Amino acid sequence: MNVPVNFRSVDIPAELQSCFATQRAAYLAAPEPSYDQRIADLKTLGNS
């Protein structure tokens, strides 16, 4: 069973907070990318 975590009581390093904020902003900008965008993103990952 998963126990709810009060994230305010967890000390998250600034580097991770920045990463999470970037991910959250990207999701909020395009919460449901199109099929074509998803394929393009996967191809970009393959080239990394």
Residue-wise pLDDT tens digits, 8-29:
667 889 999 999 999 999 999 9
Residue 19 pLDDT: 94
Please state, in angstroms and rounded to a whole number, the distance separating the CA atoms of residues 16 and 22: 10
Domain chopping of the chain, boundaries: 13-46
CA atoms of 4 and 1, how far apart (whole Å) = 10
Model confidence at 1: pLDDT above 60: no
